[in-house]
Structure 1
Amino acid sequence: MARLNILKLSTLLPGLRTHEGAPARSISPEAELRRAVLACLLWEDQFYEDGVAIAARIRELVPKVAAEKVAALAIEAREQMKLRHAPLLLVREMARLATHRKLVAETLERVIQRADELTEFVAIYWAEGRAPLSAQVKKGLAAAIPKFDEYALAKYNRDTPVKLRDVLFLSHAKPLHEAQAELWKRLIAGELAAPDTWEVALSGGADKRETFERLLSERKLGALALLRNLRNMQEAKVDAKLVRDALAVMKTDRVLPFRFIAAARYAPQWEEELEQAMLKSVAAQRKLAGKTVLLVDVSGSMTAPLSNRSEMLRTDAAYGLAILLREICEDVAIYSFSDTAIRVPARRGFALRDAIDSSQVHGGTYLGRALDAVREAYDRVIVITDEQSHDRVPGPRGRGYVINVASFKNGVGYGPWTHIDGWSESVVEYVRELESV
């Protein structure tokens, strides 16, 4: 990640405010675009802003940012922040601009990592009406299609307005070998072998308990599907040992921390296994030396869902990051803040989540007051927040980081602060790399 928040890009302007009224920073278009993208569930409403407004802001900013920067941001959003729709919108907006088109093909090929993203991109491209795909878009789609085997294509070969066979025809993709040519013929003819997934089995009327137990036994349930279906497994009375065994061996490298917290809310009987899986990916990470003060926003806006269609809360993202930071900080003091700052015990895993969440009433956002209340010396202070403070935010006493977990238009964590957008574990890597320079 490039450091975008150097002081010359960030100044207080009269009248520029957060949604709760604190003076906000004026930032460069590139920093604004990062802010809008990296904590964005595209087109989904958030506490202060609706998804349409956020998408419109992204469209407005892309022409103001250099092509290389937009392409790099799209790749970062997909590969590090694990976002799916925002990177596609960035590439679609690049395709409109003569200054950006030259990078469309290679960027599109890289950000498409699931077969359904082929059709989703074309749907985004046609959102304002059907139009011929540009040459660079066709080239990018044609390069992406060969990534996917029969299982991946069959899994996402859905009866949607834009179908996979449509993308195949539109892009004029060329198969890499004869076997792939035969595979694409079956795709066009609708003759792909049905994938062995829980969705296919249950939609076909299979018994829910038997289906989940078979898929668990055969290790055919991916990490996200496993987490999302814990409540369904509980209701179907799936063998608990099979679930525990699956959680013990699940791959966690592409699972964001907040998903474990959300899963534990609905399946608390497997909390121990979920905690172990969540912490496994950070067990070997290098420590951040020195004293760290961690400030976690628990204000009312943070307790809202990530979007109006999600059961996961913004605090899930914040607590997940807090749990990770607790593991890698050599010496840490943890505070929650809302109307005031409260020190909480630096417990591990879900015990830390509980300590932060129950530490105080989820009220207003007074980050400035919280920073004034922290009297102890530190080498760095890390704030996890949606940045919608009521009060003016002073600079840190030492290194200061603001991790923004929302896409709201204005924020306070610039100027003397190092500003980081998003809730992936990659934000922790950024802090480590920045301090190693």
Structure 2
Amino acid sequence: MARFNTRAAAKPQPTSRVTSTGRVLRTYEGGRGRERDARSELFLLAVSNLVSQRTFYETGADRDDRFARLVRELAVTDPEWTAGLLGWLRGQGNLRTASVVGAAEYVKARLDAGATDGPSNRQVIASVLQRPDEPGELLAYWTALYGRNVPKPVKRGVADAVRRLYHGKSLLKYDTASKGYRFGDILNLVHAAPDPDKPWQGDLFRYALDRRHNPDTAVPPASSTVLTAHRELMALPVEARRAVVTSADGAERLAAAGMTWEALAGWLQGPMDKEAWEAVIPSMGAMALVRNLRNFDEAGVSDEVAARVAARISDPAEVVRSRQFPFRYLAAYQHAPSLRWAYPLEQALGHSLANVPALPGRTLVLVDRSGSMFWSRLSDRSELNRADAAAIFGTALALRAADADLVQFGSDSGRISFRRGESVLKVLERFGDLGGTNTTEAVRRHYRRHDRVLIVTDEQYAPSHHGDPTEQVPAQVPVYTWNLAGYRAGHGPSGQGDRHTFGGLSDAAFRMVPLLEAARDADWPWAA
């Protein structure tokens, strides 16, 4: 009798990278949880950790300590993997602060341990510095924790980034008196030599130093057209400045001088009225436009200008270039007063979810709407929370799937109705606040021989005499958990046997679902 070479038994069992150790823990709600290995715990925490942000079950300090401890441990024991995580986190992951903190802790741990294998400390520092203000952020973090004696690898990594990032517009935007580390301070500290392929950069560096130490007499170099144009605008009498804004070439002059929308009101020393916004809108980035839709309406910008804004913010290439999370567009939709922005934001949200796959067969999507998901805001500056993020991803999956049941759950659970082709934003209006986290009962109630189950949650489920949520589904049916909080204990096993966990606040890992169902192993995102 054949025991192994049968059609069912011969099915390959793919693996994924977020892996359980087999050790049983308790979730914060008391459910039977599963410990993850150190790499898996760090990955899930990193992609969901907005540094210093408190969550329902952990203080900001506790999360930051856990993050730093895991980075320091793996920087020594697994430097190649940890360096890959940090570079991806700042790049595709688009998480600035966590990657900067992680790079600093990586280098500190390796210097303390005397480790020399793996990627260089200098390379890791340079890899996470992608915006001109980030060299100052990293140095401020390092000196606040470890003193002003900055090691050579940190200085050299920062110097590499400075050569790549510093130019006239970046100096105007980011070299401000509110910063603890000005551009000149950083140049003094790391001694960055100008890039030989940028003949103007030596003049720029000298000017940055001069305006830091002699601001009253510093003169911008003639080699920088943007700095000289900016100086000319600043030299205009206050009473003559509004005439620039209202002139036929006002938008061009503001753009040529690197005048940002944040600086324009101060330069005008007056309100940001219709004319001011219409002059600066052409030079604003896509996400700056999204953040200011309410201001445009309140100032009364023309329909013609609004149409150009709408085209920009809904352009697929602009959405990809901005690398913003989908919930940014939900926040704008909720706070923009005019209906003229609704459809462009709906389109932008759709473009931002481009990686969500169209799953075949029957799919059960469960979205966690418990109190802990509502309690934890995504950041101090956002009114959105993990419950909103979960609803976005769950709805997008359901709308793209061939045949899906969309369920919200908390203490109780219920199906969310939707029509194929319906707007994600409209479906989101049907979600509510459902209290506790009875994940197991939600799976038991709604699983009806689906081909797969996907749960978007923080995994902190309440105990059930029926066991953990994944045990309610037959072993041969895939269960995918999308973790939005990065807590230590998971609600079920992961990594093999049709049980897989992903994480974060972007849609990138959804690409792993069809990969696994094609019986292929799913690697870490930076190695895939």
| TM-score normalised per structure 1 | 0.90
Confirm or deny that 1:421 pairs with 2:497: no
Whole-Å separation in 1 of the counterparts to 2:150 and 2:122: 12
Write out aligned runs for 1:3-22 (5 A): 3-6=16-19, 9-13=20-24, 16-22=25-31
User: How far apart in 2 are the matches of 1:345 and 1:47?
Assistant: 29
1:163 to 182, 199, 204: 182
TM-aligned CA distance change 1:45 to 1:103, over 3 Å = same
* Cα 1:239/1:407, change in 2 over 3 Å: farther
The one of 83, 89, 107 equivalent to 1:71 is 83
Residues 216-235 of structure 1: matches in 2 within 5 Å? 216=281, 218=282, 220-235=283-298
Matched, 1:341 2:341: no
Deviation at 1:167, TM superposition (A): 1.9
Give yes or no for contact 1:324–1:425 (8 Å, CA) kept in 2. Answer: no
- Deviation of 1:329 (Å): 2.6
Q: In the alignment, is the contact (CA less than 8 A) between 2:83 and 2:124 conserved in 1? A: yes
| Gap change, CA 1:211 and 1:107, over 3 Å in 2 | farther
Check whether the contact 1:46–1:306 (CA below 8 A) recurs between aligned residues.
no
Provide the rounded CA distance (Å) in 2 between the counterparts of 1:378 and 1:215.
52
Identity of aligned residues (%): 30
Q: CA deviation at 1:283?
A: 5.9
Specify the code of the residue in structure 2 equivalent to 1:299: S
CA 1:430/1:185 → structure 2, altered by over 3 Å: closer, same or farther? farther
Computing the radius of gyration from Cα coordinates, the structure with the larger value is: 2
The separation in 2 between residues aligned to 1:368 and 1:284, in whole angstroms, is 28
1:339–1:365 Cα contact (<8 Å) kept: yes
| CA apart distance, 1:298 | 0.9
Judge conservation of contact 1:244–1:273 (CA < 8 Å) in 2. Answer: no
Select the residue among 54, 66, 84 that pairs with 2:96.
Answer: 84
1:176 corresponds, among 179, 184, 195, to 195
| 1:30-49 pair list within 5 angstroms | 30-49=39-58
Letter of the 2:351 partner, please give it. Answer: K
* Residues 18-417 of structure 1: pairs in structure 2 closer than 5 A: 18-65=27-74, 66-96=78-108, 97=110, 98-99=114-115, 102-148=119-165, 149-159=167-177, 160-177=179-196, 178-190=199-211, 193=227, 194=230, 195-204=258-267, 205-209=269-273, 210-216=275-281, 218=282, 220-250=283-313, 251-253=318-320, 254-268=323-337, 269=339, 270-282=341-353, 287-304=358-375, 305-346=377-418, 347-355=422-430, 357-358=431-432, 361-391=433-463, 392-395=468-471, 396-397=473-474, 398-415=477-494, 417=499
SS at match of 2:126: helix
Change beyond 3 A, Cα 1:371–1:244 = farther
- Give, in whole Å, the separation in 2 of the partners of 1:291 and 1:297: 20
In the alignment, residue 331 of structure 2 is paired with which amino acid?
A
1:328-382 CA-partner distances (Å, limit 9, x unpaired): 4333221111112211123432112112x14xx4211111111111232222211
Asked whether the equivalents of residues 362 and 402 of structure 2 are also in contact (C-alpha less than 8 Å), the reply is yes
| Structure 1 unaligned spans of 5+ | none
* AA aligned opposite 2:278: E
Distance 1:100 1:260 in 2: 44
Aligned length: 427
Residues 137-196 of structure 1, C-alpha deviations (whole Å, 9 max, x = no match)? 122111111222321232111221122222222222221232111122222222563532
State the distance in 1 between where 2:427 and 2:151 align: 50
Take 2:400 and 2:128, find their aligned partners in 1: how far apart are those partners? Answer: 29
Aligned partners of 1:54 and 1:407 also within 8 Å: no
Q: CA deviation at 1:5?
A: 3.2
Q: Closer, same or farther in 2 for the Cα pair 1:64/1:334, shift >3 Å?
A: same
Please list every run of 5 or more consecutive structure 2 residues that lacks an aligned counterpart in the other structure. 1-14, 212-218, 221-226, 231-257, 521-528
RMSD: 2.3
Q: Cα distance 1:426–1:147, how it changes in 2: closer, same or farther (>3 A)?
A: same
Question: Cα 1:211–1:108, aligned 2, differ >3 Å: closer, same or farther?
Answer: farther
Is the 2:355–2:511 Cα contact (8 Å) retained in structure 1? no
CA distance in structure 1 between the aligned counterparts of 2:80 and 2:411, rounded to whole angstroms:
42
TM-score normalised per structure 2: 0.75
Q: CA offsets, 1:15-74, max 9 Å, x none?
A: x32222212211111111112211011112222222111111111112332111211111
CA offsets, 1:373-423, max 9 Å, x none? 123222221111111211332334411111111133333143363111201
Q: Distance in 2 between matches of 1:285 and 1:56?
A: 33
Code of the residue aligned with 2:423 in structure 1: it is R
